[in-house]
Structure 1
Amino acid sequence: MNLPTVSVVICNYNYAQFLVECIESVLNQSYAAHQVIVIDDGSTDNSIEIAESFGEQIILVKKKNGGQISGYNEGFSLCTADAIIFLDADDALEPNALIWVAERFTPDVVKVQYKLKVVDQDSNPTGSVLPSSLDSGNLKNELLLKGKLYKSPPGSGNAYRVATLKKLFPLPSDSHDLHGADYFCIYGISLLGEVASISEPLFRYRVHAPAEAARNALSFGNALKSADPITRANKRWQRLKSWVADWSEQQYLIPGQFIDFTQQKVFYAAAILKADRFIERIDIFAEQFDWLMLAINSRDDFNVLKKIAALVWVISLPFCTKSLRIYLSKKMCNP
């Protein structure tokens, strides 16, 4: 059987300290990458020097800083393989990742996704493997009829069929949001074919804090750096709607609001933890309750007990002491 070729595009901005590990993880694959393309997005550290040390083993592109979306667009324009992985420079592939991915690209599959191992900034495993479950199959109606973001890993955990991805590129840029390239690829491509999932963790996802510090902070990976993540998430959803309408010529209509408990629980916890006054926490609870209930009910991977536990967490969080709020939020949200 002829396996599809796979190119890997490494998007880097000031990740010199992780770049060697990332590039070597691709070069040392049991199934060789067709291309290893490194897009440096205007780094000001010694990333260029490190990348150049790999010589002709990689294709190095040096560009002005323009954000993740511009990096994806540049890397995709150079891809000549059958499939492509966009690998963040602070992540790394497991040694057999590409062979696992290549073997899962059957004719109907347009995206292969796989789980991740969480590591700290020193590459030490935290013991977490995420997501707990992944969706697969024809997921188009989940997005179009329910506004539901199917269960997917972040950017480095996805491989795309290049011929299908050509229908989506170049990705839409926005001066107010230069990132979220993986968001558009992940959910846009699900409208064009089937998604296959691999339960094995095939890449290492880095959380940018030592293990001890990570345990004492509320975060989900490296997301939610914005001061107002709910507003940013809703704006990105509206951009997704507009973008899909443009390239699909109004063939697809997406609901006005998205549903994703993975994101919404972190939005909720972050807002509650920032609110010192009880009345402020009650207001947050009232504003987000209906949204959170929709999200919990949409999780078909949750049994009744898990849904009840999530509901109890939502209701009880505003009433807890500060130390208990922090503890419960970390238990629910941290990877």
Structure 2
Amino acid sequence: MNQVTVVICNYNYARFLGAAIDSALAQDYPHVRVLVIDDGSTDGSRRVIESYGSRIAAVFKSNGGQGSAYNCAISLLESGYAVMLDADDVLYPTAVSRAVEVMDRGYAKAQFRLDVMDGAGRHTGTHVPHSDPPETCGDLLAQGWLYPSPPASGHVYQVSALKRIFPVPDTKFNRYGADFYAIYGVALQGRVASIPCSLGGYRIHQNSASDASFANSEDYGEVSQAFDERWSMLRQIAAKRIGVVLPSTCHDFAIEKARFCSCVYHAPLASRWHWLLKESGNYLHTVIANPFWGLRKKMGTLVLSSLCLLPFPSVSDFAVRYIVNPASRRRRAA
């Protein structure tokens, strides 16, 4: 039976860390090891970690960012599979066992949905992602199409595949978002299994349903440049370490909706129309040509996007929030 390491990379999340560790220790799979990498925290994280004693393994390192923490963790892995759990997220008790059952059929990675929670851990009534990619999404990725993926905590990886991608360079753009290399680098190496149910919780605590943002680490002013840098680095890693040649540009609705938001949210009507006429090409392409979406989702996104062109700021801003931030979507009636 394969051993699984749940890695928790932490930096100053003492207020959430205990819940993450507890959820890892509560897995019903019998062969789980919990490893916490503390990236130079200055809050009460050390006290939280040490309170678990020998039930977990821990490494306390100087602060270097998420990329540095991932590099450290993956270099230490000896198990067959690994979960890279963010310190502010949680796993449900059956997450590892459900994923291992699938992984044992020869997948490079299994991914599952995460329920979106607020800072207090209350469910918002939505989950991410809303689309499941095909098993062969790595083939489309090799053509430049980034597939729908949950955040970092929603994956179980083959450790051997992770070790072919990491370590990654220690740059300012890898202080956050190091999961990008794990998510997409592993998908280039084999089939990806999607488990169509929620097996964990993703905590959003630096914004709310009234915001047009959906990230805890980066603002939209930095997203575009960071994304371009990470794609360029992934291209170099893929070519050198696994022999896969990626195109120079890629298509990803997540990054295009960030650019869309930065152009039209709280913007005057003239600016919103300027976006449509001059800057909307890539955004529309990632909607219309998206190989992972069905016709209904494409049409719904286009209709919502068109609301941003109406001369009513409240309607436009609502549409942007609905598209960009899943936390703003109300629970549908059963």
Q: Structure 1 counterpart of 2:147, which letter? A: Y
1:163 maps onto 2:160 in alignment: yes
1:272 maps onto 2:270 in alignment: no
Bigger shift: 81-90 or 301-310?
301-310
Aligned to 2:331: none
Structure 1 residues 53 and 323, CA gap change in structure 2 (3 angstroms): same
Counterpart contact for 1:35–1:79, Cα < 8 Å: no
Counterpart contact for 1:39–1:60, Cα < 8 Å: yes
CA distance in 2, matches of 1:182, 1:216: 27
Secondary structure of 2:265 counterpart: helix
The alignment's TM-score, normalised by the length of structure 1, stands at 0.91
Q: Structure 1 counterpart of 2:272, which letter? A: R
Q: Which of the residues 312, 318, 321 maps onto 1:330?
A: 321
CA distance in 1, matches of 2:323, 2:217: 15
Secondary structure of 1:324 counterpart: helix
Q: Which of the residues 309, 316, 324 maps onto 2:300?
A: 309
Matched residues, number: 326
CA distance in 2, matches of 1:90, 1:309: 32
Aligned to 1:139: 137
1:263 maps onto 2:255 in alignment: yes
For the aligned residue pairs, the C-alpha RMSD in angstroms reads 1.9
Q: 1:219 Cα shift?
A: 1.6
Deviations 1:60-118 (A, max 9, x none): 11111101011111111222211000100000110111111111113531101010011
Aligned to 2:193: 196
Deviations 1:144-196 (A, max 9, x none): 22x10011111100111112222222123323432221101111111111111
Q: Structure 2 counterpart of 1:37, which letter? A: L
Q: Structure 2 counterpart of 1:103, which letter? A: E
Aligned to 1:238: 232
CA distance in 1, matches of 2:168, 2:314: 43
Structure 1 residues 112 and 47, CA gap change in structure 2 (3 angstroms): same
Q: 1:316 Cα shift?
A: 4.0
Aligned to 1:126: 124
Structure 1 residues 253 and 133, CA gap change in structure 2 (3 angstroms): same
Secondary structure of 2:127 counterpart: strand
Q: Structure 2 counterpart of 1:98, which letter? A: V
Secondary structure of 2:196 counterpart: strand
Q: Structure 2 counterpart of 1:192, which letter? A: Q
Q: Which of the residues 182, 186, 189 maps onto 1:185?
A: 182
CA distance in 2, matches of 1:70, 1:318: 43
Counterpart contact for 1:206–1:221, Cα < 8 Å: no
Secondary structure of 1:200 counterpart: strand
Aligned to 2:109: 111
Bigger shift: 176-185 or 150-159?
176-185
Structure 1 residues 309 and 34, CA gap change in structure 2 (3 angstroms): closer
CA distance in 1, matches of 2:69, 2:80: 19
Percent of aligned pairs sharing the same letter: 34
Deviations 1:245-288 (A, max 9, x none): 2223xx32222222112331232023211534x44333333443
Bigger shift: 236-245 or 44-53?
236-245
Structure 1 residues 176 and 307, CA gap change in structure 2 (3 angstroms): closer
Q: Which of the residues 229, 233, 241 maps onto 1:247?
A: 241
Q: 1:197 Cα shift?
A: 1.1
Counterpart contact for 2:20–2:87, Cα < 8 Å: yes
Secondary structure of 2:164 counterpart: coil
1:150 maps onto 2:147 in alignment: yes
CA distance in 1, matches of 2:174, 2:56: 29
Bigger shift: 310-319 or 180-189?
310-319
Q: 1:324 Cα shift?
A: 1.5
Aligned to 2:276: 285
Counterpart contact for 2:74–2:162, Cα < 8 Å: no
The alignment's TM-score, normalised by the length of structure 2, stands at 0.91
Pairing 1:39-78 to 2, within 5 Å after superposition: 39-78=37-76
Q: Structure 1 counterpart of 2:28, which letter? A: S
Q: 1:223 Cα shift?
A: 5.7
CA distance in 1, matches of 2:5, 2:131: 26
Counterpart contact for 1:172–1:243, Cα < 8 Å: no
Q: Which runs of 5+ in 2 are unaligned?
A: 327-334
